[in-house]
Structures are given as structure tokens and as C-alpha cells.
Structure 1
Amino acid sequence: MTPAEISPGLVVSVATPDLKLSDFKLIAFDMDSTLINIECVDEIADAVGRKAEVAAITEASMRGDIADFKESLRRRVALLKGVSLSQMDEVYHQRLKLNPGAAELVHACKAVGMKVLLVSGGFTFFADRIRDELGIDYTRANVLEISDGRLTGKLVDQPWGDICDGEEKRKMLLETCGKLGINPLQAIAMGDGANDLPMMGVAGLSVAYRAKPRVREQAMVAINEGGLDRLLEVLK
């Protein structure tokens, strides 16, 4: 099917005859710039006067210009050394907001019995709070190492691996489907950056939200204007 703008800012590249939200059992969200309005790593860097430096790496990584997400994240996290937990709290309380329609879409998904997964190349410091705020069922994100109330500039290895990159997002989506006993084609994956493409590629429906060009081109649905809940215009 040729991509078609079914209403301003909403492009659909796949035939969805009578497709309903309740046809799906799981929705997986990226966090930064998808479920929430900021790239957390960039805003934390602002606390140590390194936002421009870190944001440039983030932008290149999300566009897909930097192939090795893990290396790009390690470089950015190293620049956060010395940031205090109170400065992190400030980012959460003063800069981080849910994107428009985020709560509404999560609520609509849960209302039809779907499970919700948050998979992030960002950090548990924020992902765990978003999980609690929205009642999200499963999360995977990176752990920042903290010593004496400050970031060390390193990440903490976890039982599943070192860094949640695109491949880990894909793996977590497939693992969660396995846990729920569902086919990945019964999952929706929603993101904005190149590291979301692996999980979007295995899901039954891929949705780009205000995404980088490469991601918009490959997604089945692209929301280019308005809120996340515009997905409900496609899935009744």
C-alpha cells in the first residue's frame, strides 16, 4: 500500500481493514521523545554545562548516523560524571512531561486488556517513575551508577546484559510476547529513533511518533502531528 495521509499529520502505510485495538495483546513504547517529551540524557547533561555536546551525539544516534548505540551511550554517560541526585530529581520534576495523549493511549490499551511494555535506551531513574505513574506492566532500561549521591559516569551491568540498545529492545519485546504466550504479530511497537527499528520490525504494527525520517519511512503508521492517542484513529 502506498503511504496515505488519512488525516493531517497521520500517515498510514499498511492496509488496516477493521483492525481494532483489542486485536492486539501488547504495546511496547520507547520512552525518551516518544512516551515523554525530552531526551533525559541531554537534560541531565545540561546540569554540568554539557548539553550541546551530549545532544549532538544523541541526535546522530537517533538518526542512525552512529551505528553503535552502546558506544554512543557510554560516551554520553561519561560526560554526566558528577551530576547529583538532586539535579536528576530536578530534571524529572521540572523538565520531564508525558507527551500529549500518552496517558490516554495507555489507558485505552489497558481497558481492552492489553499489557504495556516500556523499553528504553534511557535510564531506570526515570523509567521506573513513569512505570508507576502510568501503571506499566514491564520495563527495561539502563541503570546509572551512583556513588555518594552523584553519577560516576558509568552504567551498571544487569542480569540481562549491559545496555538496552535496539537489539535488546527487540529481544525484550519477543521475550515479553513469550511470557504472555502471544505471537509478536499481536504486539504494537512505538518509537521515534533508529534504535527502535529492531523492535518495530518484529511487531505486528509499527508506529513512528514524531520520528526521525528513517523511522517514519519504515513504520506502518506515522504520527507526525498531535498526540500519541492519534493511534486510536487507526485502531478503533
Structure 2
Amino acid sequence: MIKLCVFDFDSTLMDGETITFFAKKMGAGEEVAKITKQAMAGELDFFESFTKRVAFLKGMKESDAIEIANNLPFIKGAKEIIEYLKNKGIKVVVFSGGYHIATDAAKEKLGYDASFANYLHIKDGVATGFAGGEMMFGYSKGKVLKELKALMGLKKEEVMTVGDGANDISMFKEAGLKIAFCANEVLKKEADFCVDTKDLKELMKYV
């Protein structure tokens, strides 16, 4: 009986990578997309890639970041799968190696219960090229999920996780049901099920 479902955000609930959308605004979309691809494939340390990518955002107006975050595209079936899980009494939480500015906006639209992510450092209305928060390291998702399970009094088999990249491996290890969604090979190896159709309603088969 699943009681908690944890979703990754970028390329799992949201169609793309938040950092790439931001970087495009700064004319650095291709460079950031390349670093992100390497990080999600497990070829780069997540923290190192995180600091490299956010540096490209230096000088971005906070108002531009808010506008982009409020208009991010979602994966087909995102709202439906969250409604389905919540109707079953399952708490739905998002863990993102990206930013609260995006996950908080998406929470209003998709209706999940909470999110854990990072914060862009903004000074005088402008991004400084630095960020910090709960999800900066490769092990962060696993560490936070372990604490969340303890807080909620949940056993491993009562938790499911859904993700696509290398930084989701640590949370997969804390869950009883692990679903790789349109994922990198490095994560598929850790999954119970792999969904390669880009429609989150496919997850209903497993819950």
C-alpha cells in the first residue's frame, strides 16, 4: 500500500529542464543543456554541474525568471496522475535539483502537496549566479526522503519514486516502488519498472 509518491520535477513532471529555459534567456541554452545532459547521465558530479550551470544565470532579472517559471510546459498526464494518486490517499511530493521558483509555481497548477528544491540567489532583483538549498548534491534526494519517511512514519514499501536522471538514484534506494520515466540508462538499472511512453498516465498501471 503506497502512502507517499515522490516525483522528480525536470523532465519528469515538467517537459524539459528549468535551468535550460532560464539559460536560453541569457543566451547560454546550448552550453547549459550539454552540462545537464552529462549530469543526468551520471557523467558529471551533480554539485559541480549545478554550480557551473547556475553561473550562466548571473545578471538575469528576477522578473524574467518568475515569468519563465510560471509558463513552463508539463509532461502529458502530469495533472491527471497527481489527481489519481491523491484520490487514492497518497501524499505527492516533488524533489527537484532545480529551483523553488519553478516547483512552487507548478504546485499551484498541478496540486501536489509539497516540494523540496533549491533557491536562486537574487540580489537587487537580479540573479547573482549562485544558488543554494535542499537538493544541491547527488545524495540529497535520498537523504531528504529518508528524513521524510521517518517524519511520516513510513516503511520503505509504502513509498514510490518516479524520476529520469542520475541524481534520482539516491531516492530510488529509499523506496519500495521505483519507476524510471523516459529515463537515462543509469537510472533504468535501478528501477522496478521503466516507462518509455511520454505520458504520465502510464504510471496508473503500477499503483
TM bin (shorter chain): over 0.9
1:224 aligns with 2:196: yes
Alignment of 1:84-103 (within 5 A): 84-94=61-71, 96-103=72-79
* Percent sequence identity over aligned pairs: 36
- State the AA in 1 paired with 2:34: A
| TM-score (norm. length: structure 1) | 0.83
Greater C-alpha radius of gyration: 1
For residues 14 and 200 of structure 2, the distance between their equivalents in structure 1, rounded to whole angstroms, comes to 10
What one-letter code is carried by the residue in structure 2 that aligns with 1:101?
Answer: G
Code of the aligned partner of 1:204:
G
Please name the residue that 1:16 is paired with. Answer: none
Does the residue aligned with 1:64 lie in a helix, a strand or coil? coil
Deviations 1:67-106 (A, max 9, x none): x211110111011101112321332344x11211111111
Identify which of 190, 211, 230 aligns with 2:162: 190
- TM, length-normalised to structure 2: 0.94
Q: Provide the C-alpha distance between the structure 1 equivalents of 2:10 and 2:138, rounded to a whole number of angstroms.
A: 14
Counterpart of 2:173?
A: 201
In structure 1, runs of 5+ residues without a counterpart are 1-22
Give the Cα separation in 1 of the matches to 2:131 and 2:20.
16
Q: Secondary structure at the match of 1:218?
A: coil
Task: Find out whether 1:144 has 2:120 as its counterpart.
Answer: yes
Provide the rounded CA distance (Å) in 2 between the counterparts of 1:65 and 1:36: 22
Instruction: Give the corresponding residue for 1:81.
Output: 58
* Aligned equivalent of 2:13: 35
Tell me if structure 1 keeps the 8 A contact 2:92–2:113: yes
- Residue aligning to 1:51: 29
- The aligned amino acid for 2:78 is A
- Cα separation, 1, equivalents of 2:193 and 2:29: 31
* Mean Cα deviation higher: 134-143 or 26-35: 134-143
**TM alignment of 1:88-167, pairs within 5 A:** 88-94=65-71, 96-156=72-132, 158=133, 163-167=135-139
Per-residue CA distance 1:121-143 (angstroms, 9 max, x = gap): 00010011112222322321000
Q: Write the deviation string for residues 131-189 of structure 1: whole angstroms up to 9, x where unpaired.
A: 22223223210000001211000114x5xx6x433311111112111111110221000
CA RMSD in angstroms comes to 1.4
Partners in 1 of 2:167 and 2:56 — Cα distance? 21
Partner of 1:14: none
State the alpha-carbon separation in 2 of the partners of residues 120 and 57 from structure 1.
17
